[in-house]
Structure 1
Amino acid sequence: MSFLLDTNVVSEIRKKAPNPGVAAWFEAVPASELFLSVLVVGEIRQGIERLARRDSTQAEVYERWLGQLVDVYGDRIVPVTADVAEAWGRISVPDAVPVVDGLLAATALVHGWTLVTRNVGDVASTGARLLNPFTTVDKT
């Protein structure tokens, strides 16, 4: 089984004291089964740019982390394809879903992956398999 990681999960694991459920889940899953969307890379970049306006030293720390993340995930960073965009359009009606969360759910659906996120409520209506490692409850 493969997993698509949301930004909140990726960010949690880099903390000095991550949530125990998230840490245990990461330890148990082979790295080869973990994928990132380009949207997660973009959200992290956006956070770095915001941080740089008030703390350039800390922004440099996150800059290095993002570089390492991109290197480690490499070809396991997936694009938003036309199929993903169409799936997103379908799952966004009749209930609107936040755009990035919806595109992540659509990516998981298209690839047959489980979306790993803390924001299960935002994408519960999409039909994607969901896992919230913060509570260790599988929402499939």
Structure 2
Amino acid sequence: MEKIPAKLHRAGTRRSYAHKEGGGRTPVTVISAARRPERNDKLAIWLYAQREDDLFLSVISIGEIARGTRQQEKPNPDFAADLRDWLNRTETLFQDRILPFTSRDAQIWGVLSADIGHAGADLMIAATALSHQATVVTRNVADFEPTGADVLNPF
């Protein structure tokens, strides 16, 4: 079993795409923000400037969106249906660029979770980013900083 890098013993997280500078990957937590009609101009400019092949989506983000969709089924079924359709289209768009959550990622997540003191999905995204040497793209920088993952806020 590989040794977990020392920088992982620092302690946070959020939902994600992925963008890797110079051929790298970046789990980006901005995927949901990108679908909103009132999309942030800075985010739109940043996304437009990226090469499609450099953007990745975390499988954890897919789960978070599916959870949100399910939670909307009773109070807002039309919105839930729209969200489900959007998620299906997004998965198709990213089909070859979805970062899995591997056993290595799980080991890193375990260390982060123990050190930081919670077990949230954001830590899984951070673990995936650390494992794949990726940069998390998110508005929620503060939650990711304690993880040691590279973080970019395009907002």
> Please, what TM-score do these two structures have when normalized by structure 2?
0.79
Listed one character per residue, the Cα deviations across residues 40-79 of structure 1 (whole Å, up to 9, x for unaligned) are 1111111111111112122111111011001000021122
Q: Distance in 1 between matches of 2:46 and 2:118?
A: 26
Q: Is 2:51 the partner of 1:30?
A: yes
RMSD: 1.4
Shift of residue 98 of structure 1?
5.0
Structure-to-structure mapping, 1:2-13, within 5 angstroms = 2-6=25-29, 9-13=30-34
Contact between 1:38 and 1:79, CA under 8 Å: does it hold in 2?
A: yes
Decide which of 65, 74, 82 is 2:103's aligned counterpart: 82
Decide which moves more: 15-24 or 66-75.
15-24
Contact between 1:116 and 1:131, CA under 8 Å: does it hold in 2?
A: yes
Decide which moves more: 15-24 or 84-93.
84-93
Aligned sequence identity (%): 37
Higher relative contact order (CA 8 A, sep 6+): 2
SS in 2 for 1:115: strand
Contact between 1:97 and 1:123, CA under 8 Å: does it hold in 2?
A: no
Structure-to-structure mapping, 1:1-140, within 5 angstroms = 1=21, 2-6=25-29, 9-134=30-155
Structure 1, gaps ≥5 residues long: 135-140
Higher helix share: 1
Corresponding residue for 2:6?
Answer: none
Shift of residue 109 of structure 1?
0.7
Structure 2, gaps ≥5 residues long: 1-20
Q: Distance in 2 between matches of 1:61 and 1:86?
A: 35
Runs of 4+ in 1 over 4 A off after TM superposition: none
Contact between 1:98 and 1:122, CA under 8 Å: does it hold in 2?
A: no
Listed one character per residue, the Cα deviations across residues 94-127 of structure 1 (whole Å, up to 9, x for unaligned) are 3335521111111111111100112211121111
Corresponding residue for 1:137?
Answer: none
